[in-house]
Structure 1
Amino acid sequence: MASISEPFLLHSYAVPSAAGPSSCRGLPHVQANARWGDAAEVTVTVQGDGIHTIDRSSLHAVSSYTLGPSTFFQSAAVSRVGKGGKRATYVSIATASDIKDNGKTAWVWPEGSEDTASRKSIELSYPAQDFLFPTSLPDQVVIVSPDGSLTLAASNLDPIQDLSPPFTITGRAKNFIFPKQLQTVGTTPGSTHQAVLLSFFGNEEGKFGVRVVRVSEKKLTEVGWVQLDDIKVNDVFSVSCEAGGNASVLVSSGQCFSFQISATSSVSYSSSSAPINTSVSKSSLEAPQASLLSLMSTHMLLATASPSSRQIQLDLWDTRYPVQLASYSMALPANLPEKFALYLSHATSGQALITLTCPLGAKKGDSKTRSSIFIVPYFVPHTSSLINALGRLQVSEPQASQGDSALSDAERGLVRKVGEALGSGASDEAQKTFMDWVNLQPQATSNGVHAGVEQEDKSDEEGANGVNGVLNEDSDEATLTNSREVNGASRPKPNGAAFKKKALLHLPTALVEQLLDTLLVPPQPSTDAHSFILRFLMRKGLVSYSMVKGEQKLLDVLLERGDWPGVVSALQGVVDIPESAVVRVLLVGLKDTGAAPPLPLPNVVAAVLAAPVTRPALRLALKEQLKDIADVCRVLEVLQGWLVQSGLRGFELDAQGAGVVEVDFRPKPRIDAILSFAETLIDTYFISLLQHPPARPILRELSSLLAPQLTLATHLERLRGPLEVFAKRKRLQKQSGRTKAAVSRFEEGRRRKRAQEEVELQVGLYQVEEFFF
C-alpha cells in the first residue's frame, strides 16, 4: 500500500543579503540532489556560500567546499563516484572573486579532493546549465547549455563531441539522463548506446516538447523532438520523467498532464490519461510553489504549497488511472522567506528531497530567513496495477470535479427535488426523496456482490429520527444512532446467519458537490434533513473539505448552525480537514461562540480527538490560534481528568465516566488519543506552561500519572514475544467467527512429533553445519 511518512529536516541555510549577479537572478538560493552513483549522500549548492555534501543517514556533513559570499553558481553542483570510490564534483561558476564574470567557467574537484583549494578551473565554450553523468560511462560527462547545446566531454571536461539543438529553444530546459536498461525509453534488444538523455523545452513558437538523444561512448546521436499536446512553455511549472518514458507536466492552471514517451527511429508520445486537476497557488514561474517528481512506473509525487494555510500538501498519484494513492500535509517552516519556491528531487528509492528556498534577488522579508531541505520518506509499489488503484478511486475523484454538466437527468432531478423540499420546509419529504434515490443505486460490497443500502446497518435510518443520540465508534464508520448503547449489554448480538457485508456507496463527485451547495447555501435556516443528508454523505466518505467553495468552509457553516452532530461526522469522516479547522472547533468550545446552546468542553475535546491530524501541522495551528494559556490549562484539565478516571487501564473510557454529558452525542475518548493530544499540547506550550503558576499542579499530576506507567510498559514489553503465539491464535479465532474444536492428546502428540521431524531435516536458525569439499 502506498504511503508517505513524516518528512524530516536534512539541513537549513541562512539566506544571504547579497542579491548576486544579474545572470543569477531567479536561480534558487539552495539546490539539492543525490550524488550520482551513491544515493547515501546529498550534494547541496548554496549561493554565496559553497558546496556541501551531507550523509542522509547521519544528517552530518561529509565534506564542505566553503567558497565565500562573493561566489555564485550558474548550475547546481553535482558529484559522482569514480572507479576508486572517490568523489568528483562539478559546478558552473557565474561569478567569484578570482574569475571573470562571463559564466563560462567551471570548477572541478577531481576524485579524492578534500579541500577547497584542490579545485581546477576550466574555461568552457559556453555557460553550463547542467552536468549529466552516464553511469555506464564513468570517464565521460554530458554538458548542457542554456540554449540546448550538448557536449560530450571527458572527465576533465575536454570536449569530445558537440550537438546543437534542432532550433532556437525557449524556456529553461529540464534534462534527465537514464542508463541503458530493458525498460529504458528508446532501448531495443540490439541497441548499442549506453544511456538516453531527455530534454524538455519549448520551440520558437513557445510550444512545449521533448528531445531525445542517445549517448554512446564518445558519441551523441539525435533521435528527435516532439511537441507535447498544446502545452505552452510559459505555462509549465514543473516537469519530471522516469526511465521508462513516463513523463508528467504541471502547468500554471493546476492541471497535470501525463505522457508516455517513445523513441525508436523518431520520437512519439501518447497521453496516458485525462489531466489531473490540482490546487496550485498563484505563484510565478520564477518562484513556483508546486513541483512534481516521477517515481517508478507511472507513479508520481506532487507537492503544492499554500502560503495562506502555511502548509505543504504531498500527494502520491498513479497517473495511469489516475488515482491518488496517498497524501500527507506538513507545516511550512516559520523562518521561510516571504517569497519562496518549492522543488522536488530524488534522494534514493523510497526517499525524495523537498527544497524550500527563495530565488536570488527576491524580497527576504526577515533577516533570519532560511532555506530548508527536507527528506520525504514514501513507499510505492514497483509497478502500477489496477488492484492498488481500486480502493483509491473515490478518494482521488474530487480532484477532477466537472460541475453540473457532468450530471445525468436523474441526478439533476434529485438535486432539484431535494432543494425544493428543503426550501419549502418539507424536511421529511427531502429526506425520503434522497434515501429512496440512494436505495435504488447499485453498490459494491466487500466481496464484490452488488447490493442496496438496505443491506447495511440501519443506523442511518435511526439517526434520521433525531439528532440527539449516541456516537457509535465501534463500527468502521462513525454513525449517530438514536439512544442505542454501544459496547454495552443492550447491544444486539449477531445471530447465527452469515454476517452481512457492508455495501460501499459510490456517488459521482459532481452530484455530491451539487448536493452540498443545496445543503449548505444558504447556511441558515437549516432543518433536520439538512443535517441528516450531510451526515450521511460524510459518513460514507463522499465529502471532501475542498468541495465547499467560498470563504466559509464546511466546518464554518456547521458551527454557525450549531450542528454539533454534523461537526463530529465531519471530523471523523472527512479526511482532508486541515488542522487549522480542527483547532477552530476547539476554540468554539472554549469560547462558547457557536449558534446553538454551548456544548460542554469535554464533548468538544472528545470530538477534536477523533479527527485525523499530523502533529507538526497541529502544533502550528495551535500556536497560531490558541494563544490564551488559561484555555490550554482548561483543555489539559479535561485530559488529566480522563487519565485519572481511567487509571490508564484499557483503551476506551466510558462516556459517563469521562465527564461527558449527553448533549447531541456522547463520545468515548480513547486513551491513546488522549495521550497523543496531551503530548502535542505540552510540546507546543511547555515553556509558557512552566511560566504559568496555575499550570504547574496539572503538569505535576500528569507526571505522577505517567511515570509508573513507563516503568510498567518496559516490563510488559518483555511479554510481547512469549504471548504473540496466543494473540495470533486469538486473531485467527476471531476471523473464523468460531472457536476451534478441541484436539485430543493423541492428535496433539502426533502433530508435535511430526513438527520435530521436520525441524531436524533442515538447518535451524541457530544451527551450524560443516561442509567438506
Structure 2
Amino acid sequence: MSAAISDPFLLSSYDVSKRFAPGQSAGASGKSAYNLYVTHHHSRTGQDGHATVAVHGDGVHILDVCLRVAQDGSSVRKTYVAIDTAPDVNSENRAKTIWMWSEPLSAESGGRSQKTSVVAPHILSRIYAPDNLPDRVVLLSPEGELSLADGDLKVLASQTYLHRPSSLRKSFVFEKSRLLPSLAAMLVVLFIAVDETTRIHVMSVSKESITVLLDESLPVGNNSIADISCSAEGYIAIVQRDGTLQSFALESFDKTLSLRRTSTSLRLHRFSFISQEAPTDRSASEISLLSLGASFVLLAGITTTHPPELTLLLWDLQYSVVLAVHSLPIPSSLSHTKE
C-alpha cells in the first residue's frame, strides 16, 4: 500500500457532528471539539497495519492493510461498525447496533461475507479489537461503561461506571502496558467528566474479565480542559483553556496503581485556544496533544500572531523541559479568518 499527500482538502463544506461533543450525551446538541482525526497503527509482524480517518460530517473510515486474524487455519478479516441509524435498525437500538462482517482472505474465496447484526448492552462511542487479545472486542460507551465481547460479539463481562451523570472525555487503550508488565492484559485509561470534576478511571481487560485498578478525581475542572494525552508508560498531560499545562504519572506497585503529579504546572501564551471568554467552536479545537511514548508529548496549536502560525512544541513531562519548538505557516488555501 502506498500513499501520497496532494493539495490540501478543504473541510468547510462538511457539517460538524455534535453527537459526542464533550459534556453532551448521545443525541444532544453541543459544541464540537474536533474536526478531523488521522491515525496509523503498525502491525507487530512488521506489516503496514491499518490507518483510521475520521471526518466530522462524513464518518469514520478504517483502511486495513494487513492480514488480520487466523481462524480455522485461514486468514480472516473481521469488520465491526457501530450504527446510529439505518432503515433496518429499531429506534430503541439506535447507537447500540453493531454490524459485523467476517471475510475469508484466501485466494479461492471470492464470495462476499454475510452481515451479522448484534445489539450491544449500551450505547457505543468506541470499538477496540486489540492484537494481544485475539478474538476479543472491547466496547465503550459515551458514559464510560465498558464491555468485553468475543469475536462474535457475545458479551463476556461488563463494567458500569458508578459515578453519574458521567460523560467520557477521552479514552486510551494500551496493549502490554509497561505499567503492569506482569498482567497479560490490555490497559484502558478513561478520562470521565462527572458534574464539574474530571476523574481518571483505569481498568485492565483480560480474555474473560475486567478489573478496575484506579478511579480518582483530578485537580482539574471539567469545563476547563482543552486536551489530554496519555502514554503507555503512564505519563499524562492535560492542557486547560487558560493555557495551563499540568502533568501526572501513573505508578504501579504490587498490581495496583496510584497517581502523582510530576512537576509544577506551566502556563502557555499566545495560542488561539486560550481565551478569557467563552471559546468559539474553531478556537476551542485549535489545540492538540499527542504522546510520543514515555514522557514525551507533542503539542500543536495555532498562534494569535498575524499571520497565525501552526506551532509545535516537543515536551518532556518528566523533567518539565521543552526540547524543541517549530513553527509552520498555515497554507493560504486554508482560510483561517476568525468568525
Please indicate the TM-score interval, normalised by the length of the shorter structure: 0.7 to 0.9
Q: Which residue number in structure 2 is paired with residue 42 of structure 1? A: 51
Distance 1:334 1:86 in 2: 45
| 2:228 counterpart letter in structure 1 | V
Distance 2:124 2:330 in 1: 33
Output one character per residue of 1:694-720: Cα deviation in whole Å (capped at 9) or x when no partner. xxxxxxxxxxxxxxxxxxxxxxxxxxx
Output one character per residue of 1:410-446: Cα deviation in whole Å (capped at 9) or x when no partner. xxxxxxxxxxxxxxxxxxxxxxxxxxxxxxxxxxxxx
Distance 2:48 2:231 in 1: 16
Q: Which residue number in structure 2 is paired with residue 221 of structure 1? A: 211
> Is 1:197 the counterpart of 2:203 in the alignment?
no
TM-score (norm 2): 0.76
Q: Which residue number in structure 2 is paired with residue 315 of structure 1? A: 313
Secondary structure of 2:84 counterpart: strand
Output one character per residue of 1:28-48: Cα deviation in whole Å (capped at 9) or x when no partner. 454322247465541213455
Residue among 50, 68, 71 paired with 1:81? 68
CA contact (8 A) 2:235 2:317 kept: no
Q: Which residue number in structure 1 is paired with residue 98 of structure 2? A: 106
Q: Which residue number in structure 1 is paired with residue 126 of structure 2? A: 130
Distance 2:190 2:256 in 1: 15
Superposition deviation, residue 21 in structure 1: 7.9
Superposition deviation, residue 226 in structure 1: 1.4
CA contact (8 A) 2:139 2:147 kept: yes
Change (3 A) 1:165 1:20: closer
Residue among 291, 299, 303 paired with 2:300? 303
The sequence identity of aligned pairs, in percent, is 26
- Listed as ranges, the gaps of 5+ residues in structure 2 are 20-26
Which deviates more, 154-163 or 142-151? 154-163
Secondary structure of 1:12 counterpart: coil
CA contact (8 A) 1:223 1:266 kept: yes
Superposition deviation, residue 198 in structure 1: 1.0
**What are the residue-to-residue correspondences of 1:441-590 with 2, within 5 Å?**
none
Superposition deviation, residue 91 in structure 1: 3.2
Distance 2:263 2:18 in 1: 43
Output one character per residue of 1:534-574: Cα deviation in whole Å (capped at 9) or x when no partner. xxxxxxxxxxxxxxxxxxxxxxxxxxxxxxxxxxxxxxxxx
CA contact (8 A) 1:171 1:201 kept: yes
Superposition deviation, residue 132 in structure 1: 2.3
Q: Which residue number in structure 2 is paired with residue 142 of structure 1? A: 138
Superposition deviation, residue 200 in structure 1: 1.2
Q: Which residue number in structure 2 is paired with residue 155 of structure 1? A: 151
Output one character per residue of 1:450-472: Cα deviation in whole Å (capped at 9) or x when no partner. xxxxxxxxxxxxxxxxxxxxxxx
CA contact (8 A) 1:169 1:201 kept: no
Aligned length: 306
**What are the residue-to-residue correspondences of 1:700-711 with 2, within 5 Å?**
none
Distance 1:257 1:95 in 2: 39
Distance 2:235 2:203 in 1: 16
Change (3 A) 1:200 1:111: farther
Superposition deviation, residue 219 in structure 1: 0.7
| 2:205 counterpart letter in structure 1 | V
Distance 1:263 1:115 in 2: 49
Distance 1:10 1:111 in 2: 34
CA contact (8 A) 2:102 2:113 kept: no
CA contact (8 A) 2:315 2:322 kept: yes
CA contact (8 A) 2:237 2:245 kept: yes
CA contact (8 A) 2:10 2:334 kept: no
Output one character per residue of 1:639-683: Cα deviation in whole Å (capped at 9) or x when no partner. xxxxxxxxxxxxxxxxxxxxxxxxxxxxxxxxxxxxxxxxxxxxx
Output one character per residue of 1:105-149: Cα deviation in whole Å (capped at 9) or x when no partner. 223343458999965443222221111233211210111101111
Superposition deviation, residue 260 in structure 1: 0.9
Distance 1:11 1:82 in 2: 35
**What are the residue-to-residue correspondences of 1:211-610 with 2, within 5 Å?**
211-228=201-218, 230-264=219-253, 266-279=256-269, 280-281=271-272, 282=275, 283-284=279-280, 287-306=284-303, 309-336=307-334
Change (3 A) 1:115 1:335: farther
Distance 2:324 2:200 in 1: 29
Output one character per residue of 1:467-492: Cα deviation in whole Å (capped at 9) or x when no partner. xxxxxxxxxxxxxxxxxxxxxxxxxx
Distance 2:69 2:157 in 1: 22
Output one character per residue of 1:277-319: Cα deviation in whole Å (capped at 9) or x when no partner. 2233234578421111112221110001136533210111112
Change (3 A) 1:142 1:53: closer
Secondary structure of 2:9 counterpart: strand
Distance 1:202 1:90 in 2: 27
CA contact (8 A) 1:175 1:199 kept: yes
CA contact (8 A) 1:142 1:152 kept: yes
Change (3 A) 1:49 1:196: closer
| 1:194 counterpart letter in structure 2 | A
Superposition deviation, residue 159 in structure 1: 1.0
**What are the residue-to-residue correspondences of 1:594-633 with 2, within 5 Å?**
none
CA contact (8 A) 1:36 1:133 kept: no
Distance 1:139 1:240 in 2: 28
Distance 2:18 2:201 in 1: 31
Output one character per residue of 1:713-765: Cα deviation in whole Å (capped at 9) or x when no partner. xxxxxxxxxxxxxxxxxxxxxxxxxxxxxxxxxxxxxxxxxxxxxxxxxxxxx
Secondary structure of 2:307 counterpart: coil
Q: Which residue number in structure 2 is paired with residue 660 of structure 1? A: none
CA contact (8 A) 2:144 2:166 kept: no
Superposition deviation, residue 81 in structure 1: 2.8
Secondary structure of 1:253 counterpart: coil
Secondary structure of 1:103 counterpart: coil
Distance 1:28 1:118 in 2: 34
Output one character per residue of 1:312-350: Cα deviation in whole Å (capped at 9) or x when no partner. 10111112222211122223344546699xxxxxxxxxx
Superposition deviation, residue 19 in structure 1: 6.1
CA contact (8 A) 2:213 2:257 kept: yes
Distance 2:160 2:123 in 1: 14
Change (3 A) 1:28 1:164: same
Secondary structure of 1:151 counterpart: strand
Report the RMSD for the aligned CA atoms in angstroms. Answer: 3.6
Greater share of helix:
1
| 1:110 counterpart letter in structure 2 | S
CA contact (8 A) 1:80 1:89 kept: no
Distance 1:335 1:93 in 2: 35
Secondary structure of 2:144 counterpart: coil
Superposition deviation, residue 171 in structure 1: 3.8
Change (3 A) 1:15 1:238: same
Change (3 A) 1:14 1:239: closer
Superposition deviation, residue 248 in structure 1: 0.7
Which deviates more, 313-322 or 274-283? 274-283
**What are the residue-to-residue correspondences of 1:603-682 with 2, within 5 Å?**
none
Distance 2:152 2:12 in 1: 32
**What are the residue-to-residue correspondences of 1:746-761 with 2, within 5 Å?**
none
Distance 2:141 2:36 in 1: 20
Change (3 A) 1:20 1:319: closer
Superposition deviation, residue 94 in structure 1: 2.6
